[in-house]
Structure 1
């Protein structure tokens, strides 16, 4: 029973709980607490109300899910100092990046590392994301394709994806497609010269020794 100024509710172990309050009992309020087994990847920070998952028109904000990974708020929840240009700190180097670099290097045959450590590091990232051992994977699941997907889950909206796709050979002339790749809704392969950016025309004009990258 809930009482005014009553004792704290005791939670015996950490975890995810469902708390139900019953206000229809005459004369007093009661509650129930049930630990739930529902676990999910807490990196999935998306705004979906009124949004369509598919993107038919790239100029419409309601096409595709919006990302809520970064907010222009202080640690106390107050608005940032500038409402036009966010002053949120932007991560450049993160520990999870180093962990996944290690795993990728081992899977590519790099020396000085081992698969056991690589698996433990990947699982450390995933346990943090799930806040539960349920996020762990097995050694058989640890592949380069898994690492590429994990990089997407961990670093979306942190300016990593293009570089990762180029490094994995998935950016241009492959069957690895996404909506509007190549300017087509269902995606289409693009020329491999796009794996490398063009040199700015002002730089070439200022230095005649520079040669433009092929395809531009």
Structure 2
């Protein structure tokens, strides 16, 4: 969230699916705030706040009071957000329970005409190995890391990816918003389930550290840092046995 000292407002812009939200303090539920009576005032333990329409919301909180507002800033929906939410809970208490957490519908065993694939037991879905959007995002990342590229072109490339996802330019970003953290998030939105995320997190220094947590990272419900050895895989024992010159990676 960002803070405006002139107005005393904290604000955050984020995508919300249809459902309900609540505010909580310090990333824990022991202090949670809802809106009983839908009067625009937060109360401790109040009712969940309904989100009737999916979209990007600008949420503002007034510092030092319980007043808040939330408005649908734009109604365009990111078509890349392909999740099955009916009957699913957002929070995951048991990683073995399919109904906990949103299911991803990005890939289906269907042809472009909507008919089923040739094999009903094993999917024959094409898997994208190289994508233009990936190249665009790599270019922008390289520029942000000090490469000899064009910052304006990098911004155009990133906005081209975003505009395709939304179907219009309502969600495009400014040069000031184009940061490495944004690139990491945009790669998640664009390339999830395409085999990039682990490598991306390692490259950004966030795979093993406490700087970036997700549910059940480190086998902890709220996520925790893990041993840095997991930034690389171990060399298979069969390879080491076949080649005595190989040295096992540290920690394994």
Q: Shorter-chain TM-score category?
A: 0.7 to 0.9
Partner of 1:176: 212
What are the superposed Cα offsets for residues 159-210 of structure 1, whole Å, 9 maximum, x if unpaired?
Answer: 1000000000001123210000001010000111110000111111111111
**Count of residues in Structure 1 that have an aligned counterpart in Structure 2:** 179
> Which residue of the other structure, out of 111, 115, 118, is the alignment partner of 2:154?
118
Q: Is 1:152 matched with 2:185?
A: no
Tell me, yes or no, if structure 1 residue 54 matches structure 2 residue 91.
Answer: yes
- Tell me the CA shift for residue 108 of structure 1: 0.3
Contact 1:129/1:135 (8 A) holds in 2: no
Distance 1:58 1:83 in 2: 26
Show the counterpart of 1:137: 173
Give how far 1:116 is off. Answer: 0.3
Shift of 1:38: 2.2
Q: Which residue of 2 aligns with 1:28?
A: none
Could you say what secondary structure the match of 2:163 adopts?
helix
Do residues 212 (structure 1) and 244 (structure 2) align? no
Q: Distance in 1 between matches of 2:209 and 2:152?
A: 34
* Structure number having the greater helix percentage: 1
- 2:67 counterpart of 1:67: no
| Contiguous gaps of at least 5 residues in structure 2 | 1-73
Match of residue 100 from structure 1:
137
Report the Cα distance in structure 2 between the residues aligned to 1:183 and 1:83, rounded to whole angstroms: 34
Q: Aligned equivalents of 1:77 and 1:114: distance in 2?
A: 41
Residues in 2 aligned to 1:184 and 1:118: alpha-carbon distance in whole angstroms: 37
Runs of 4+ residues deviating >2 angstroms = none
Aligned-partner Cα distance in 2 for 1:139–1:115: 8
User: Residue 124 of structure 2 corresponds to which residue in structure 1?
Assistant: 87
SS at match of 2:170: helix
Contact 1:47–1:67 (Cα < 8 Å) also in 2? yes
Give 1:74 shift. Answer: 1.1
Partner of 1:162: 198
TM-score w.r.t. length of structure 1: 0.81
Q: Which runs of 5+ in 1 are unaligned?
A: 1-36
Residues 38-86 of structure 1: per-residue CA shift (max 9 Å, x gap): 2011100000000011110011110110000000011121111112211
- The TM-score normalised by the length of structure 2 is 0.70
Q: Judge conservation of contact 1:51–1:64 (CA < 8 Å) in 2.
A: yes
Cα deviation 1:111-159 (Å, max 9, x = unaligned): 1x11100000000000000000102100010000000000000011111
| Partners of 1:187 and 1:70 in 2: CA distance | 27
In the alignment, the residues of structure 2 paired with residue 54 and residue 79 of structure 1 have an alpha-carbon distance, to the nearest angstrom, of 32
